[in-house]
Amino acid sequence: MKILITTDWYAPSVNGVVTSVLNLKEKLEEQGHQVRVLTLAQNKGESWRQQGRREGNVWYLPSVGAGRIYPGARVVWGAGRRFVREMIAWKPDVVHSQCEFTTFWFAAKIAKAAGAPLLHTYHTVYEDYTHYFSPNRAFGKKAAAVFSRLVLGRVDGVIVPTDKVKRLLEGYGVRQPIWTVPSGIDCARFRKARRERKERPAGASLRLLFLGRLAREKNLEELLIWMAGSRGKNYHLLVVGDGPHRPELEALAGRLGLYGRVEFAGMVPPEQTAFWYQKGDVFVCASRSETQGLTYLEALAAGLPAVCRADDCLEGVIENGRNGWQYQSRSQFFEALEKLEDPALYHRMSGQALLAASRFDSGRFGERILAVYQKSCGTSRALSYAGREGTV
The confidence score (pLDDT) of residue 383 equals 37
The confidence score (pLDDT) of residue 150 equals 96
CATH code: domain of residue 349:
3.40.50.2000
Can you give the residue range of the structural domain that contains 10?
Answer: 2-184+361-391
Residues 13 and 33 in one domain: yes
Calpha distance 35→21 (Å, rounded): 11
Residues 171 and 192 in one domain: no
Q: Tell me how crowded residue 84 is: count the other CB atoms within 10 A of its CB.
A: 18
The confidence score (pLDDT) of residue 240 equals 96
The confidence score (pLDDT) of residue 135 equals 61
Residues 226 and 328 in one domain: yes
Q: Is 209 exposed, middle or buried (0-12, 13-18, 19+ CB in 10 A)?
A: buried
Residues 214 and 141 in one domain: no
- Tally of domains in the chain: 2
Residues 349 and 371 in one domain: no
Residues 160 and 177 in one domain: yes
Q: Note the pLDDT tens digit of each residue in 110-167.
A: 999 999 999 999 998 887 665 555 566 677 789 889 999 999 999 999 999 999 999 9
Residues 352 and 384 in one domain: no
The confidence score (pLDDT) of residue 203 equals 72
Residues 307 and 261 in one domain: yes
The confidence score (pLDDT) of residue 229 equals 87
pLDDT along the chain (392 residues), means of 10: 96 84 95 96 61 88 66 63 93 97 95 97 81 64 92 97 93 96 90 73 86 92 93 88 94 95 92 91 92 89 96 92 97 97 95 94 93 82 44 58
The confidence score (pLDDT) of residue 139 equals 76
Residues 76 and 122 in one domain: yes
> 62: cis peptide before it, omega within 30°?
no
The confidence score (pLDDT) of residue 75 equals 66
Residues 70 and 98 in one domain: yes
Residues 154 and 196 in one domain: no
Residues 271 and 380 in one domain: no
